[in-house]
Structure 1
């Protein structure tokens, strides 16, 4: 990983409802707050704009009457705000896949100019989500911002070590994680993934699920470095800083050494020749 100036990011805790316009307004309010606080990027939870299955989306059949035009309009407004404030946003929402298959459960990536530059589709769906709620995605998503490489993951993917291991091999500095709740076992997993792969993880959650676990950011040493205080809407902010002395061991010693260890040469060259 190359050196660069610190990148301030925020993990949002926003109220998610069945009203797409209200969700869009809540998202924009937090984006404005994040920009005022100096953040260059803010990540929102799974379904932050669209609502999430079994909660705001009553049944798989509800997608037939879903207001896709309304979501598109709100996403466009969010993009305009991002462009005017110079801040990137990762927004959870459904993505219309086809008239035959259910939508993807996605994170939309809006850059600091307000352009839609990517979309991550959740790959490891839950058993419930596979029951005609969503269609799984197939690829990781990696993008760059201010010299830092970022990836995305969603909800139950916190339980799959291969997701975060893959992002480590892709040179990602931080994983932006949107989930409809961050319960204790998710928190344990996220801290482990961050510490084992020596990367930051920014975890966003709905405010109505914050009593199970607040939005926050885990550092590359596996420790929380920022959390939202209280159950209401809010932001957790932290700086991604490769030169921070607190992360010297994690970033400059542990991560490169573990990469060499996984390749195995440092062990093979020590094997005895006379076995």
Structure 2
């Protein structure tokens, strides 16, 4: 197995109306363009933000709205178009030979959807799905069904965990991934309409340093958020980040096995066992 892996992380335009087929197709086209750029630059894995295809607005989806927030009416969403775009992204991943992590809403037959991250292999096949667990008050009250379990996957000998939305604020989720011997965690976070949120980057950097693994932070191209996409090394320092004017872009860096501290992980494990 190689001792390095080239990771691309994107910051892309976020649209908030899942009832608008044109907006969904525009988002899909932008994602595919960034995938092609990443593949041309040698990426093996490409990571996208929460809401990459759509970050549904609580007012647009409200069954009482748009002037009053209530339970989301998910029958309004253009589900067939959303699936077409996801299928097209998966097909392109296979054609380009890159792995893709693409967040989207996941429809459930008899419940509110999950807010999810899909992992697509370099063969264009769905490998796993992660559902956001630590939902915000708005999400849990009006919009989504929470997930219940972590998810991991491997690319070229590198093992990754997944975190979505407000998961980033809960250190215990990352401790759980540390115990699973991951080399990094891919965090997708969207703050459209709520900002600035520089504290999210602070949380992500602390998580990387505390667990001595890589953290990829994918966020929207949203100037008001105070955030940019990037990759944080196991020492908590930015290895690379996107343009600070928050324009749509993709940035790449090489992850190295040698920078992941097996000594630190063994120490944490021994200490936790001693005090448990």
Answer yes or no: same fold by TM over 0.5: yes
Q: Which stretch shifts more, 58-67 or 213-222?
A: 58-67
Counterpart CA distance in 1 for 2:61 and 2:88 is: 26
SS in 1 for 2:234: coil
| 2:123 paired with 1:108 | no
Superposed CA deviations along residues 187-210 of structure 1, whole A, max 9, x for unmatched, are: 111111111111111011111257
* Alpha-carbon spacing, 1:177–1:32, altered in 2? closer, same or farther (3 Å): same
- 1:207 alignment counterpart: 221
SS in 1 for 2:139: coil
Query: Structure 2 unaligned runs (5+)?
Result: 18-22, 63-70
- 2:203 alignment counterpart: 189
| 2:100 paired with 1:86 | no
Any residues of structure 2 matched to 1:230-241 within 5 Å, and which? Answer: 230-241=245-256
- 1:45 alignment counterpart: 49
* Alpha-carbon spacing, 1:148–1:210, altered in 2? closer, same or farther (3 Å): farther
Superposed CA deviations along residues 165-203 of structure 1, whole A, max 9, x for unmatched, are: 000001111111111038211111111111111111101
The RMSD of aligned alpha carbons is 1.9
SS in 1 for 2:261: helix
Any residues of structure 2 matched to 1:51-66 within 5 Å, and which? Answer: 51-54=55-58, 57-59=60-62, 60-66=71-77
SS in 2 for 1:109: strand
The number of equivalent residue pairs is 257
- 2:84 alignment counterpart: 73
Counterpart CA distance in 1 for 2:145 and 2:225 is: 29
Superposed CA deviations along residues 45-90 of structure 1, whole A, max 9, x for unmatched, are: 11211333438x5434341111111111111110111011100111
Aligned-residue offset at 1:212: 1.3
SS in 2 for 1:61: coil
| 2:28 paired with 1:24 | yes
**Looking at CA atoms only, which structure, 1 or 2, has the larger radius of gyration?**
1
Q: TM-score, structure 1 length as denominator?
A: 0.88
Q: TM-score, structure 2 length as denominator?
A: 0.88
Any residues of structure 2 matched to 1:101-250 within 5 Å, and which? Answer: 101-181=111-191, 183-209=197-223, 211-229=225-243, 230-243=245-258, 247=259
- 2:66 alignment counterpart: none
- Choose which of 31, 34, 37 in structure 2 pairs with 1:33: 37
SS in 2 for 1:74: helix
Q: Which stretch shifts more, 87-96 or 174-183?
A: 174-183
Any residues of structure 2 matched to 1:232-271 within 5 Å, and which? Answer: 232-243=247-258, 247=259, 251-264=261-274
| 2:6 paired with 1:11 | no
Counterpart CA distance in 1 for 2:108 and 2:169 is: 25
